Amino acid sequence: MAGLHKSEFANPVINWVESRLPIFTMMQKEYGVFPTPKNFNYFWNFGALAMVTLVLMIVTGIFLAMNYQPNTELAFDSVQHIMRDVNYGWLIRYVHQNGASMFFMVTYIHIFRGRYYGSYKAPRELLWMLGVIILLLMMATAFMGYVLPWGQMSYWGATVITNLFSAFPVVGPKIVTLLWGGFSVDNPTLNRFFALHYLMPFVLVGVVFLHVAALHITGSNNPLGIDVKSPQDTVPFHPFYTIKDSVGMCVFLMIWAGFVCFAPNLLGDANNFIPANPLQTPADIVPEWYFLPYYGILRSVPNKLLGVCMMFASILLLLALPWLDTSKVRSARFRPIFRILLLVWCLTFVGLGICGAHKPEGVWVILSRLFAFYYFAHLLVVLPILGKLERPLPLPESISNPVVRGAMGKVAAVLLIAGGLFGMQGVTPAHAEEEIVLPQQKWSFSGLFGTVDIASAQRGFQVYSEVCANCHAMKYLHYRDLAGLKLEPEQIKAIAAAVTVPQGTNDEGEPKEGPATPASQFRSPFINDKQARSRNNGALPPDLSLMINAREDGANHVYAILTGYADAPSTMKMQDGMNYNKYFPGHQIAMPQPLRDGQVTYADGTPTSLDQEARDVVTFLAWAANPEQTERKQLGVRVILYLGFMACVTYALKRKIWAAVH
Amino acid sequence: MAHSTASTDTHGHPADPSKRDMLELLAGASAALLGAGIAWPLVSSMNPAKDVLALSSVEVDLAPIAAGQGIVVSWQGKPIFVRHRTPEEVKAAQDAKPGELNDPQTDAARTKPGHEAWMVLVGICTHLGCIPLGNKATDVRGEWGGWFCPCHGSQYDTSGRIRKGPAPTNLAVPPYAFESDSKIKIG
Ligand code: FES
């Protein structure tokens, strides 16, 4: 028999809603008074942090989708449009781009916490399994999102990952064609990936809801891994854990903002600043850091089908974890052997990631096999047996009456060091070829607080216009953008008016030319790539808009190339039309030496040595590749200070609130 | 994360309740400010982007437009009417008494001195945004010989002023200037 819910709220409006839909009672029950073990440590922040990240990813994603074009012709350009023209577009995009990494960091720590404290054991098996499904969905979403910018890594990542399915006999190639909607990764693929990338986060929200609903049935685990015995063991979720989660959130947002404002491309790949080219694979193709361990497993197996199966199994096996671990004791605090072996397992996971970042040669193959072996052995052999053999330490009576202190600090330190190692190794893939060491220059724009030297960039623009622009386009720049180099509107108008650019068609339908306006793109020296090639010995002079981002250590790279011309050593056989350069990979470059002493005449009287010209043009290109960089760093300082202040306030409040419990 | 500062919490008895209240207020306020700080760039991103703002001017060659005729050009995505008025049309526009007008404005205030034959208007009905008819001599032009909006029957005179119908104001005049006698630049 249906009936109105009995409601006792004082506010009549709330009462009216409440008696028809008891949502306030529910919120009060699940998030207000919800009894929560009182002994959580900060590892219990990470579920809430993941939730915050998911929300921020969805919100920023929706605003990005308003300006993104899922079309192979337009996708790359539309991302640059977001970065350069849309108000705060760079901020929204960098938050989203780095957000993917933050999401995986937080989720991996959350999973580790579950593993360490045995949160997957009865009665929380289903809760854990839903978590594994969330991880899988996240991976699919992140992968498809990475394809959207349609750079070289997007394209080749999509090709490699979708080709994984071709390993399956008989149906494999059919599945791949189905995924592509064609016979290679192309426009239909990009289109559907966009549609699915937009959909999946909402599926994620659904599964996260189930994950949380299941949590609220079983209640939370806790660092001791023992059941709640009496009301004394718990505190109400609010305000005790809302405030504790808030402290964690402030610190977490500080780290995120740090990446966004000071190192937005640290976790990315330079190759993705080059538009997708289906005819050329980049020399090193490496997935994003969060996929590296699985990539390591894939490459440790010499057989294609087996490698793919192992990779999928490495995650799917986690679904069975509640039954593979036969020990009744949850928390690793009371399982001394398990604790060490779990850490070893985590290190093998990190190790697999490091292997995944290196070319599969020599020692890396052996290491990755060793690590992959332990990854599976731990789950399939060690856990079932250890549960039977290990003698756990005596469990405390209750949460309010613990006898031991955790060693999580030490554990966290070990993992932090391992993670740092992974970070250093992971983001700079080692090159197997002859190493070219770029001389490191001092740049005005480098470092946390460095800003572009405007005078130098202005001179660099002159060098670009008089020299480089004869062969290299910069199609993502417009004359109006020169306002960022502190040029006055009148100067910009004059600069633009001196250049003749195509201007659509005249009334008879013929192509028309005319003087550029501030709204015009920088003039391109060639009408199309074909003409560019045919006039340059078959080599295409690349667009320079993003050059500094599109090369590893871009500023030093470009400077080294510009100043690295020399006579070829007699031992070297030069090909026709090629020039010797000390720093160009392979040492043979099609571009003749572009800059020499006295190539240009500076109005401000700066001496025009080759070094000065190269330095100025690199400064200009660095500005052109990241025109937002000064604003970004300034914003970063303010945001981090603000969040730091908030962290202090919430922490002080947390101490006050918890004072009565401790 | 925004925890209510008006918490009904009765747990815990902190030594100094006033300090706790202060901290709660501070935390709540800074969280609200953070929320606003996150919302601001997102909302701002929906405003016109720099490339849209930059496409601000078009030039129109007047030479081919015969007296009595009008053309439509696109400026910032909006239709701009450029009409070459006949001397009679100019006179009719200039002679209108302020009392006859719903939105009184002289013809002189809507044209450029020395170029009274030329009427340049944003061709968007001020009622609900339809594009009025009347540029071609063969179009319906309404009782005042200017423009007629097919959507709900607003009638504009030869100066683009509203005379009859639901539209509240005259057709807008965009910013423009004569570059020469036969060329204008809009925007
Ligand atoms: S829109 Fe023109 S009369 Fe309604």
At B5, is the pLDDT very low, low, confident or very high (cuts 50, 70, 90)?
very low
pLDDT of residue A2: 63
Q: Is B167 in the pocket of ligand 1 (CB under 6 A)?
A: yes
Examine the pLDDT at A604 and tell me if it is beyond 70.
yes
User: Closest Cα of chain A to B158: distance in Å?
Assistant: 28
pLDDT of residue B137: 82
pLDDT of residue B8: 40
pLDDT of residue A505: 79
Could you report the per-residue pLDDT of B84-142, keeping only the tens digit for each? 999 999 999 999 888 889 999 999 999 999 999 999 999 999 999 999 999 888 889 99
Could you report the per-residue pLDDT of A110-164, keeping only the tens digit for each? 999 999 999 999 999 999 999 999 999 999 999 999 999 999 999 999 999 999 9
Could you report the per-residue pLDDT of A172-199, keeping only the tens digit for each? 999 999 999 999 999 999 999 999 999 9
pLDDT of residue A5: 79
Examine the pLDDT at A300 and tell me if it is beyond 50.
yes
Q: Kindly state the percentage of chain A with pLDDT values over 70.
A: 96
Q: Which of A86-100, A459-473, A503-517, B65-79 has the lowest mean pLDDT?
A: A503-517
Which atom of ligand 1 is nearest to B153's Cα? Answer: 3
Q: Residue A319: helix, strand or coil by DSSP?
A: helix
Tell me how far apart the alpha carbons of residues A527 and A524 are, in angstroms, rounded to a whole number.
Answer: 7
User: Closest Cα of chain B to A570: distance in Å?
Assistant: 52
Residue whose pair of structure tokens reads 């806790």 in the numeric block? A222
Please tell me the distance between residue B166's alpha carbon and the centre of ligand 1 in angstroms: 7
pLDDT of residue A158: 94
Examine the pLDDT at A547 and tell me if it is beyond 70.
yes
Active site residue A245: yes
Residue whose pair of structure tokens reads 């720093």 in the numeric block? A583
A292: amino acid identity, one letter: L
Please tell me the distance between residue B169's alpha carbon and the centre of ligand 1 in angstroms: 11
Residue A429 DSSP symbol: P
Backbone angles phi, psi at B59, to 5 degrees: -105, 140
Could you report the per-residue pLDDT of A304-336, keeping only the tens digit for each? 999 999 999 999 999 999 999 999 999 999 999
Q: Is B117 in the pocket of ligand 1 (CB under 6 A)?
A: no
Q: Which of A434-438, A455-459, A479-483 has the lowest mean pLDDT?
A: A434-438
Query: Per the CB < 8 Å rule, is A91 touching B23?
Result: no
Q: Which residue's CA lies nearest to atom 4 of ligand 1? A: B152
Could you report the per-residue pLDDT of A368-425, keeping only the tens digit for each? 999 999 999 999 999 999 999 999 999 998 888 765 566 666 777 777 777 776 665 5
Q: Report the pLDDT averaged over residues A332-345.
A: 95
Q: Residue A565: helix, strand or coil by DSSP?
A: strand
Could you report the per-residue pLDDT of A33-76, keeping only the tens digit for each? 999 999 999 999 999 999 999 999 999 999 999 999 999 999 99
Q: Report the pLDDT averaged over residues A541-546.
A: 95
Could you report the per-residue pLDDT of A151-166, keeping only the tens digit for each? 999 999 999 999 999 9
At A434, is the pLDDT very low, low, confident or very high (cuts 50, 70, 90)?
low
Please tell me the distance between residue B62's alpha carbon and the centre of ligand 1 in angstroms: 28
B162, B169 contact by CB (below 8 A):
yes
Query: Per the CB < 8 Å rule, is B50 touching A661?
Result: no
Pocket test of ligand 1: the residue of B125, B133, B162, B169 to mutate, having most ligand atoms within 8 Å of its CB, is B125
Of A86, A478, A661, the CB nearest to B12: A661
Pairs of CB atoms within 8 A across A/B: 106
Alpha carbon distances (Å) from A21 to A3, A214, A552, B95: 11, 21, 57, 67
Cβ under 8 Å to A: B residues 164-183: none
Tell me how far apart the alpha carbons of residues A36 and A173 are, in angstroms, rounded to a whole number.
Answer: 51
pLDDT of residue A515: 86
Q: Is B123 in the pocket of ligand 1 (CB under 6 A)?
A: no
Instruction: Indicate which residue of A245, A481, A543, A616 is catalytic.
Output: A245
At B6, is the pLDDT very low, low, confident or very high (cuts 50, 70, 90)?
very low
Which atom of ligand 1 is nearest to B167's Cα? Answer: 3
A60 at B interface, C-beta within 8 A:
yes
Residue A347: HSE in the Cβ half-sphere, 13 Å Cα cutoff: 14
- Overall residue count recorded for chain B in this entry: 187
Could you report the per-residue pLDDT of A196-223, keeping only the tens digit for each? 999 999 999 999 999 999 999 999 999 9
Examine the pLDDT at B151 and tell me if it is beyond 60.
yes
Q: Which of A16-30, A479-493, B161-175 has the lowest mean pLDDT?
A: A16-30
Tell me how far apart the alpha carbons of residues A341 and A657 are, in angstroms, rounded to a whole number.
Answer: 38
Q: Is B171 in the pocket of ligand 1 (CB under 6 A)?
A: no
Q: Report the pLDDT averaged over residues A340-345.
A: 95
pLDDT of residue A447: 85
Parallel, antiparallel or unpaired: strands A588-589 and A579-580: antiparallel
Q: Which residue's CA lies nearest to atom 3 of ligand 1? A: B152
Please tell me the distance between residue B145's alpha carbon and the centre of ligand 1 in angstroms: 17
**What is the CB neighbour count within 10 angstroms for residue B175?**
11
Which atom of ligand 1 is nearest to B130's Cα? Answer: 1
B110, B119 contact by CB (below 8 A):
yes
B7 at A interface, C-beta within 8 A:
yes
A352, A371 contact by CB (below 8 A):
yes
Q: Which of A620-629, A646-655, B71-80 has the lowest mean pLDDT?
A: B71-80
**Arithmetic mean of pLDDT over chain A:** 92
Could you report the per-residue pLDDT of A503-522, keeping only the tens digit for each? 877 778 888 888 888 889 99
Write the ipTM: 0.86
A363 at B interface, C-beta within 8 A:
no
Tell me how far apart the alpha carbons of residues A150 and A503 are, in angstroms, rounded to a whole number.
Answer: 28
DSSP bridge partners of A35: A236
Burial class (CB in 10 A: 0-12, 13-18, 19+), A497: middle
Cβ under 8 Å to B: A residues 193-252: 235-236, 238-240, 242-243, 245-246, 249
Examine the pLDDT at B11 and tell me if it is beyond 60.
no
Q: Is B127 in the pocket of ligand 1 (CB under 6 A)?
A: yes
> For residue B13, which residues of chain A lie inside 8 Å, CB to CB?
660
pTM of the predicted structure, to 2 decimals: 0.89
pLDDT of residue B15: 54
pLDDT of residue A425: 53
Q: Is B130 in the pocket of ligand 1 (CB under 6 A)?
A: yes
Pocket test of ligand 1: the residue of B102, B124, B128, B163 to mutate, having most ligand atoms within 8 Å of its CB, is B128
- The answer, yes or no, to whether the previous bond of A239 is cis (omega within 30 of 0) is yes
| Residue A352: both structure tokens together | 């697999």
Q: Which of A182-186, A434-438, A451-455, B128-132 has the lowest mean pLDDT?
A: A434-438
